[in-house]
Amino acid sequence: MKYPLDTLSLAMPMPLTPPVIEDESVLARYPFLPQSQDFIRSQLSGNGITVEGLIEEPWLEDIRRRGSLRLVESVVHSEGVDSATTVDISSDVGRMTEALSFLHAMLVVCASFEDRLLNRWVEGEASRADQLFGIDRPNFETIARTYLSDIRAEPMAGTTEIVYHVPMVDFLELCPKITGGYWRLVNRPVEAGWVRMDPASGETSQQRTARLLKERVRQSLTTDCTDRMAKMDDAFAGLFADPVDRILGLLSERVTAEMPMSAAVREDWPPCFESAVAELSQGINVNHTGRVFLAAMSRAMGHTPELTMSFFENAPDYNAETTSYQVAHIYERQYTPHGCSALKTGARCPVSQGDDRLCDQEWMTHPLKYLRAKQRRRYQEESLSDAADESAERTEGASETSETADSS
């Protein structure tokens, strides 16, 4: 069965009429753009490639390999797909490979009907887009006008940098999805309905604006894939059975290895985090290493910035504005918590040999490993408890049935 190219259409983000992009290298670099839809179609039809061929033809192996790499990076790396690519998009073959590898990856995700894989892939591709948008000055305004209702640029006085302004309606829609004080409208200069995107946290105005565009890419990919899943029949999905099985196997291994940070309860907290929270709550001064660790660890555990800031409220030198700024910076930059060695060097490890059997393990080198181990054990204990309850219910039900039969 031949599947029509309509199956490959992409959702159209706002504005409804995006600017024209004629450079095929740009279309290949950003295959998720609505303008890339016709380019992908032309790569398929112009090279005589069908969906079946994309899966089976030996000469398309490089495309499948690149598509698999995009998926693996999304599953394995929390920071998303690597923005760097070894594909030379200055050549016809390179442009075809980059564009169709994206298509192959997307179809595998859709054929999996697995929300966790969808979410990871979308996040990976959106993060990659964010990185590329932030450094692509020649094409940035065209890309911005693809995803925003408009954009304005003005030179920054005394520099070669440019400051961008975005319509307030776009900012208000997208900023709630982004963590940090920078993204609150009250903290942004606004003039005549335009929000100024000042440089901040070591990022240029372009990189800050690219962060907004990332949300549009995320929305577009999620909507498109969700719609495609709803329309995809078993026969079409079955074409991708092998790559789907491989990536879901990897996803399963990864999910097992990772802990559900948002599910962390206090009983799971590592001693170093517990002690930092306890000392601050008692008004004891915690050194710089301890404070940065507490905020970074709290972020990694899935706590909100507001909850993290509350841990500092009883600190002897507490200042709400300073704390808010510093916590927001750690969340925006996604700081990684200190490992055990750094905490010991910084006098923030409260455990001595023999105090905590889990900490004594040779493989215990990071507080996140401690948290994962505690959560894994709790999950296993709860699963065993649930299984025991179900078994007891079945036994009780069988007993009641037997008694009823005997009495009749």
Strand, helix or coil for residue 345: helix
Q: What is the pTM of this model?
A: 0.61
Q: Locate all alpha helices (DSSP H) within 113-204, ordered by sequence.
A: 115-133, 137-147, 168-174
Q: Locate all alpha helices (DSSP H) within 282-407, ordered by sequence.
A: 288-300, 305-310, 320-333, 340-345, 367-407
Residue 302 has what pLDDT? 78
- In whole angstroms, give the CA distance from residue 117 to residue 113: 8
**228 Cβ contact list (under 8 Å, min separation 6):** 7, 110
- In whole angstroms, give the CA distance from residue 217 to residue 178: 14
Q: pLDDT tens, position by position, for the chain (408 residues)?
A: 444 444 444 433 466 689 999 999 999 999 999 999 999 999 999 999 998 899 889 999 999 999 998 888 877 765 555 566 557 899 999 999 999 999 999 999 998 888 878 888 998 899 899 999 999 999 999 999 999 999 999 998 888 889 999 999 999 999 888 888 899 999 999 999 999 999 998 999 999 999 999 999 999 999 999 888 888 887 788 888 889 888 888 877 765 555 444 445 788 899 999 999 988 887 888 999 999 999 999 988 878 899 899 999 888 888 889 999 999 999 998 898 999 999 999 889 999 888 888 899 888 899 988 887 787 777 667 666 655 656 555 555 555 545 544 544
- Please choose, from the candidates 136, 303, 123, the residue with its C-alpha nearest in 3D space to the C-alpha of residue 215: 123
- In whole angstroms, give the CA distance from residue 79 to residue 81: 7
Q: Dihedral, CA atoms, 85, 228, 23, 148, nearest 10 degrees? A: -100
Token pair, residue 247, equals 């990536």
The residue type at 281: S
CATH number, domain 5-257: 1.20.930
- In whole angstroms, give the CA distance from residue 226 to residue 247: 18
Token pair, residue 59, equals 């000469």
Q: Are 322 and 292 in contact (CB under 8 A)?
A: no
Residue ranges of domains in the chain: 5-257, 263-368
Q: Are 144 and 151 in contact (CB under 8 A)?
A: yes
Rg (CA), the chain: 26
Residue 406 has what pLDDT? 52
Q: Are 188 and 195 in contact (CB under 8 A)?
A: yes
Token pair, residue 2, equals 């031949």
- In whole angstroms, give the CA distance from residue 115 to residue 335: 27
Residue 164: strand pairing partners = 153, 197
- In whole angstroms, give the CA distance from residue 307 to residue 301: 11
Q: Cα 19 to the chain's mean position, in Å?
A: 28
Q: Locate all alpha helices (DSSP H) within 175-270, ordered by sequence.
A: 205-231, 234-238, 241-257
Q: Per-residue DSSP letters for 13-59?
A: -SSSSPPP---HHHHHH-TTSTTHHHHHHHHHHHTT--HHHHHH-GG
